[in-house]
Amino acid sequence: MNGKLLRVAEADKDARVHDARHTAATLLIEQGVGISVVQEILGHSQLTTTKR
Protein backbone atom coordinates (compact mmCIF):
# COMPACT_ATOMS: atom_id res chain seq x y z
CA MET A 1 0.00 0.00 0.00
CA ASN A 2 2.72 2.49 0.93
CA GLY A 3 4.52 1.92 -2.38
CA LYS A 4 1.36 2.61 -4.35
CA LEU A 5 0.65 5.72 -2.30
CA LEU A 6 4.16 7.03 -2.94
CA ARG A 7 3.86 6.33 -6.68
CA VAL A 8 0.51 8.13 -6.90
CA ALA A 9 2.02 11.09 -5.02
CA GLU A 10 5.03 10.94 -7.36
CA ALA A 11 7.22 11.02 -4.27
CA ASP A 12 10.93 10.33 -4.20
CA LYS A 13 11.69 6.62 -4.06
CA ASP A 14 13.39 7.09 -0.67
CA ALA A 15 10.34 8.78 0.86
CA ARG A 16 8.49 7.06 3.67
CA VAL A 17 4.82 7.53 4.52
CA HIS A 18 5.76 7.75 8.19
CA ASP A 19 7.89 10.83 7.43
CA ALA A 20 4.76 12.52 6.11
CA ARG A 21 3.09 11.97 9.50
CA HIS A 22 5.94 13.82 11.20
CA THR A 23 5.75 16.65 8.69
CA ALA A 24 1.97 16.93 9.08
CA ALA A 25 2.27 17.04 12.87
CA THR A 26 4.94 19.74 12.68
CA LEU A 27 2.89 21.85 10.29
CA LEU A 28 -0.22 21.51 12.46
CA ILE A 29 1.68 22.63 15.57
CA GLU A 30 3.22 25.55 13.66
CA GLN A 31 -0.28 26.63 12.62
CA GLY A 32 -1.38 26.72 16.25
CA VAL A 33 -3.38 23.49 16.36
CA GLY A 34 -3.51 22.21 19.92
CA ILE A 35 -1.26 19.31 20.84
CA SER A 36 -4.25 17.22 21.98
CA VAL A 37 -5.89 17.70 18.58
CA VAL A 38 -2.68 16.62 16.84
CA GLN A 39 -2.57 13.62 19.19
CA GLU A 40 -6.06 12.63 18.10
CA ILE A 41 -5.30 13.09 14.41
CA LEU A 42 -2.20 10.91 14.67
CA GLY A 43 -3.99 8.32 16.76
CA HIS A 44 -1.54 8.40 19.65
CA SER A 45 -2.87 7.03 22.93
CA GLN A 46 -0.23 8.89 24.97
CA LEU A 47 0.37 12.63 24.74
CA THR A 48 4.06 12.02 25.44
CA THR A 49 4.31 10.18 22.12
CA THR A 50 2.92 13.19 20.28
CA LYS A 51 5.25 15.58 22.10
CA ARG A 52 8.32 13.70 20.93
Q: Is the pLDDT of residue 1 over 70?
A: no
CB atoms within 10 A of CB 50: 19
CA within 13 Å, CB half, 48: 0
Query: pLDDT digit string (tens) for 22-38?
Result: 899 999 999 999 999 99
In sequence order, what E strands does the chain have?
Answer: none
17 with 5: CB under 8 angstroms?
yes
Going from the C-alpha of 13 to that of each of 5, 16, 19, 27, 28, the distances in angstroms are 11, 8, 13, 23, 25
- With 90 as the cut, is the pLDDT of residue 6 above it? no
